[in-house]
């Protein structure tokens, strides 16, 4: 595969989008990180937290979400560049289309499962939080990238 097939994107747009997406992921994953920290602190009171298994798992989780945020940002910026989207309305439409193709099925599937007798109320909150996070990662990211500008000088 040759790299000249990939559209050029401003590095600053990738950095901004990665930070934006990572902040959204961190907000969703904050309870998980907090839980890992508490478990590690209780289990390894005499040891250093940074050397615990939970800390290493948390670092791997953070690293993979950071890499995923960067790849997702580049993909959205490449879509904006390739389609020539210049307006906020167009960016919102493109982000909504990406949301529909990637997350709508899981959202509907999660909501349909609530007719079952064993469904818990917390499940609804998890689906709503996941949907909000997905909307932020798609529509919000597209609008932020469009606001910042994703095209390099070479792509004009």
The reported pLDDT for the residue numbered 69 is 92
For residues 63-85, one letter each, b for 16 or more C-beta atoms within 10 angstroms of the residue's C-beta and e for the rest, the string is: eebbeebbebbbebbebbbeeeb
The reported pLDDT for the residue numbered 44 is 55
**What residue segments make up the domains of the chain, in order of their start?**
9-150
Residue 97, number of CB atoms within 10 A of its CB? 14
Low-confidence ranges of the chain (pLDDT < 50): 46
The reported pLDDT for the residue numbered 117 is 62
The reported pLDDT for the residue numbered 106 is 83
Strand (E) or helix (H) holding 146: helix 141-148
- pTM (whole model) above 0.75: yes
């Amino acid at each position: 595969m040759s790299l000249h097939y990939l559209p050029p994107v401003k590095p600053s747009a990738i950095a901004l989008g990665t930070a934006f997406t990572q902040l959204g992921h961190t907000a969703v994953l904050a309870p998980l990180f907090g839980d890992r920290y508490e478990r590690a602190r209780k289990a390894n009171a005499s040891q250093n937290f940074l050397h615990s298994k939970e800390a290493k798992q948390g670092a791997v989780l953070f690293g993979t979400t950071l890499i995923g945020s960067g790849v997702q940002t580049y993909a959205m910026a490449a879509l904006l560049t390739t389609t020539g989207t210049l307006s906020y309305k167009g960016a919102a439409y493109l982000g909504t289309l990406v949301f529909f193709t990637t997350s709508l099925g899981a959202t509907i599937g999660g909501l349909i499962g609530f007719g079952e007798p064993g469904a818990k109320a917390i499940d609804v909150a998890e689906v709503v939080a996941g949907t909000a996070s997905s909307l932020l990662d798609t529509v919000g990211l597209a609008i932020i990238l469009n606001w910042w500008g994703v095209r390099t000088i070479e792509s004009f």
